[in-house]
Amino acid sequence: MANLITRHIPNTLTCLNLFFGGIACVMAFQFKYEAALCCIIISAVFDFFDGLTARALKAYSTIGKDLDSLADDVSFGVAPSVIMYSLLTEKISLTESVYFADWLPYTAFLIAVFSALRLAKFNNDTRQTSSFIGLPVPANALFWASLVAGSHEELLSSSIHPLYLLVLICLFSWLLVSEIPMFSLKFKSLSWSKNKVSFSFLLVCIPLLILLKISSFAAIIVWYIVLSLLTWKKRG
């Protein structure tokens, strides 16, 4: 009986990830961006613990792997897509003479498409055991959700052209499937010499969290990308 229960714990956590990802989509459609961000953060927590419990309980399964990818694409692919779709819909309604205004909001769903490609690539790429190649989908989702929730008014201002957001969507979609190595925060020890990159990343994150508040996650993801690029050759 105990084995039967423990075997389903990881998949239950994955389903909770999916559940809150679905709620994040609803919040985004209702322009409740802070609530959507909170749901994505909760999904990320469940995403972290489903893998952790699966390893701890040795409760691996093919269904669990497929379910995890499905949940991740909803929570970290579709949800940020809907956030950007809603934002672009607002943006277009406030902006005059925008080329391709009718279809521009739909480009937000490139995030979901490339997140799915990223997840499929990750599941079949044996190089990504201790680090990542390309931007992880939870990091991408946190960037978009935090950016919109924390800088909503600024993004709607006339100083930000809608096409700038399209360029940003394309850039981050490319980062998801790029061949750029990005470090992982998996610590095998607490040695500074073996974890310089991770400790440097975390030290900068602290003031960003204090100073930028809701927008801090977006800044942290940008810092993560920059540090990954700066240490690319060294780690290689």
Give pLDDT tens digits for 139-189: 999 999 999 999 999 999 989 988 899 999 999 999 999 999 998 877 666
pLDDT tens readout for residues 83-127: 999 999 999 887 766 667 788 999 999 999 999 999 998 887 777
Amino acid at 197: V
Amino acid at 133: I
Residue 201 CA to residue 196 CA, distance in Å, equals 8
Region of 125 on the Ramachandran plot (φ > 0 left; ψ -120 to 50 alpha; else beta): beta
- Say if residue 201's pLDDT is above 60: yes
Residue 142 CA to residue 147 CA, distance in Å, equals 8
Residue 102 DSSP symbol? T
Residues in the chain: 236
- Say if residue 2's pLDDT is above 50: no
Can you name the residues that pair with 133 across neighbouring β-strands? 181
As a whole number, mean pLDDT of residues 42-48 equals 94
Q: Which of 9, 8, 10 is CA-nearest to residue 51?
A: 10
Mean per-residue pLDDT of the chain? 88
40-68 core/surface letters (b: 16 or more CB in 10 A; e: else): bbbbbebbebbeebbeeeebeeeebeebb
Residue 81's pLDDT is: 98
Angle ∠(158,159,160) on CA atoms, nearest 5: 90
Residue 135 CA to residue 222 CA, distance in Å, equals 11
The answer to whether 135 and 225 are in contact (CB under 8 A) is yes
2-181 falls under which CATH superfamily?
CDP-alcohol phosphotransferase transmembrane (TM) domain (1.20.120.1760)
Residue 88's pLDDT is: 95
- Say if residue 236's pLDDT is above 60: no
Q: Which of 84, 10, 93 is CA-nearest to residue 47?
A: 10
Q: CB-based contacts of 152: which residues, under 8 Å, 6+ apart?
A: 33, 87
